[in-house]
């Protein structure tokens, strides 16, 4: 740990401004843009994707490792933890909800939930100035029969989840209406098979029909946009995933809905960076779920790394900031859960700021002139620009801890609040 020297931070920022100005970059403008770009924080990190339904012994489609103490036990504690995480990050904040985090007055089936069951979340978000995004929870439920929901062979199972999907869109619309900001409604299902299926087409016909019914009623895009999240494979569905990337991309392009691209849902040799510009040209809406996969979709806590920096640079170079929604998606119970949020938020923020400060116009000029030597040389030199001085100034301006001071605040919160759970 090292203390904050305000005078030294401001002095370093003035020097950084001078350096960036030499490359034609206005750091004050970059900071202004940064404050306008929201990142949606995934609520499910705070309680290990448990939710509040009390369904008993139900098989989960999510693998969370670790047993660190202090997990949120109810919605009040979860919101308290999210507030704490946000107080330690300079990013503009949204919260990504799942339907399993509803707070109905009486026990309510997941496919009968309404916006009223999320009113506490809406009121809290309105009071705190947060936006909300939404997901129907198509997993960890007795009606996940043999691991299938919208693509189940059983019509009663499909009908249950179709109703849940329709309800989620109505909930999202009301969230957007009350908060005055567009709510992104995401659909991800774990449907698939461990071994080789006898008939792949059958399941995808079921999924297409289910989605057609869910999207039959047009919702007001002023309040909600819909996205579909594909995946290459998962544990227990190694051979066949019904909602593949190709299926959802084709469905979205044909039916004018959006796509959610999770950075962990592809083969390790694939890069979402190269896919962004292709998909953005073809679909109406696009959301990123930013994660850190290690050899597979392991959902490790997001950290500063080349993959994250490249993703944010592509967002900046393509003019996608403000057009493509961004959310974090990982879970780790081996460390303090609030710290996991903060580490990921600050990493995403640093990646975003690095991209906003990049003298991209000089790279474009060199490429347009066919001077690829200069382009590559500048890309390397830009990696050493004084981003950290600008980041520290941003933290100072927004009233959040600078450097490692956030960890001191987190440890105090852990001792005073989380350790008593």
| Positions marked active-site | 188, 229, 231, 262, 265, 289, 297, 299, 329
The token pair that represents 285 in the structure block: 């809406």
Name 395's Cβ contacts closer than 8 Å, sequence gap at least 6: 90, 401, 402
Q: What's the CA gap between 216 and 176, in Å, rounded?
A: 19
CA torsion, points 265, 55, 98, 329, in degrees to nearest 10? Answer: -40
In SS3 terms, the chain reads as: CCCCCHHHHHHHHHHHHHHHHHCCCCHHHHHHHHHHCEEEEEHHHHCCCCCCCCCCCCCCCCCCCCCCCCCCCCHHHHHHHHHHHHCCCCCEEEEEEEHHHCCCCCCCCHHHCCHHHHHHHHHHHHHHCCEEEEECCCCCCCCCECCECCCCCCHHHHHHHHHHHHHHHHHHHHHHHHHCCCEEEEECCCCEECCCCCCHHHHHHHHHHHHHHHCCCCCCCCCEEEEEECCCCECCECCEECCCHHHHHHHHHHHCCEEEEECCCCCCCCCHHHHHHHHHCCCCCEEEEECECCCCCCCECCCCCHHHHHHHHHHHHCCCECCEEEEECCCCCCCCHHHHHHHHHHHHHHHHHHHHHCCHHHHHHHHHCCCHHHHHHHHHHHCCCCHHHHHHHHHHHHCCCCCCHHHHHHHHHHHHCHHHC
Count other Cβ atoms within 10 Å, centred on residue 98.
21
Place of tokens 């020297």: 5
Taking the CA of residue 345 as centre, how many other CA atoms within 13 Å lie in the half-sphere pointing to its CB? 31
């Amino acid at each position: 740990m090292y203390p904050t020297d305000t005078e030294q931070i401001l002095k370093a920022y003035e020097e950084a401004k001078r350096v960036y100005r030499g490359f034609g970059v206005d750091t004050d403008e970059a900071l202004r843009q940064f404050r306008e770009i929201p990142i949606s924080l995934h609520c499910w990190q705070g309680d290990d994707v448990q939710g509040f339904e009390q369904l008993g012994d139900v098989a989960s489609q999510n693998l969370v490792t670790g047993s660190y103490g202090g997990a949120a036990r109810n919605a009040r504690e979860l919101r308290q933890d999210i507030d704490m995480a946000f107080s330690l990050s300079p990013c503009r904040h949204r919260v990504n909800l799942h339907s399993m985090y509803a707070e109905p007055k009486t026990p309510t089936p997941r496919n009968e939930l309404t916006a009223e069951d999320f009113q506490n979340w809406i009121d809290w978000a309105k009071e705190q100035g947060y936006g909300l995004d939404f997901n129907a929870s198509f997993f960890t439920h007795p009606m996940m029969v043999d691991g299938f929901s919208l693509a189940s062979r059983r019509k009663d199972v499909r009908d249950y989840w179709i109703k849940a999907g329709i309800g989620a869109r109505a909930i999202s619309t009301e969230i957007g209406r009350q908060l005055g900001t567009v709510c992104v409604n995401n659909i991800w299902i774990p449907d698939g098979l461990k071994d080789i299926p006898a008939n792949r087409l059958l399941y995808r016909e079921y999924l297409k029909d289910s989605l057609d019914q869910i999207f039959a009623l047009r919702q007001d895009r002023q309040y909600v946009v819909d996205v579909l999240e594909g995946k290459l494979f998962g544990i227990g569905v190694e051979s066949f995933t019904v909602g593949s990337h190709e299926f959802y991309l084709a469905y979205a392009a044909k039916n004018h809905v959006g796509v959610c691209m999770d950075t962990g849902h592809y083969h390790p040799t694939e890069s979402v960076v190269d896919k962004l510009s292709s998909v953005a040209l073809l679909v109406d809406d696009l959301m990123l779920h930013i994660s850190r996969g290690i050899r597979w979709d392991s959902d490790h806590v997001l950290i500063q790394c080349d993959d994250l920096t490249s993703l944010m640079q592509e967002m900046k170079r393509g003019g996608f900031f403000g057009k493509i929604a961004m959310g974090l998606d990982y879970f780790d119970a081996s460390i303090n859960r609030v710290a996991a949020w903060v580490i990921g938020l600050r990493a995403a923020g640093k990646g975003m700021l690095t991209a906003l400060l990049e003298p991209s116009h000089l790279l474009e000029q060199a490429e347009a002139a066919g001077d690829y030597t200069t382009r590559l040389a500048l890309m390397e030199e830009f990696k050493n620009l004084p981003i950290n001085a600008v980041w520290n100034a941003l933290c100072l301006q927004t009233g959040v801890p600078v450097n490692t001071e956030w960890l001191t605040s987190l440890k105090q919160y852990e001792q005073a609040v989380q350790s008593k759970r």
